[in-house]
Amino acid sequence: MGLVPVAQREAYAHVAAGAIAQNVYLFAASNGLATVIRAWIDRAAIGDALGLSHDQQVMLSQTVGYRKAS
């Protein structure tokens, strides 16, 4: 991010988060797992648990688990 102009950093972060989430969806689909993106989350608690610094922020979370038995 240090190479990205400040005004564009948030947009880059949003695009990167979407691409990362898509990779998790692809991995889950190809390994018989289920996943959902979650944005309605306790960002402060997650940031604390991950030990994020003041200039890092939680964009999204993604839950991964086993598919519901059919």
Residues within the interface to ligand FMN (CB under 6 A): 36-40
Are 47 and 58 in contact, with CB atoms under 8 Å apart? yes
Nearer to ligand FMN among residue 24 and residue 37 (C-beta):
37
- Kindly state the smallest distance separating residue 51's Cβ from ligand FMN, in Å: 23
Dihedral angle of Cα 30, 32, 34, 35, to the nearest 10 degrees? -30
Nearer to ligand FMN among residue 9 and residue 65 (C-beta):
65
Rounded Cα distance between 20 and 59, Å, is 11
- Kindly state the smallest distance separating residue 18's Cβ from ligand FMN, in Å: 8
Nearer to ligand FMN among residue 29 and residue 39 (C-beta):
39
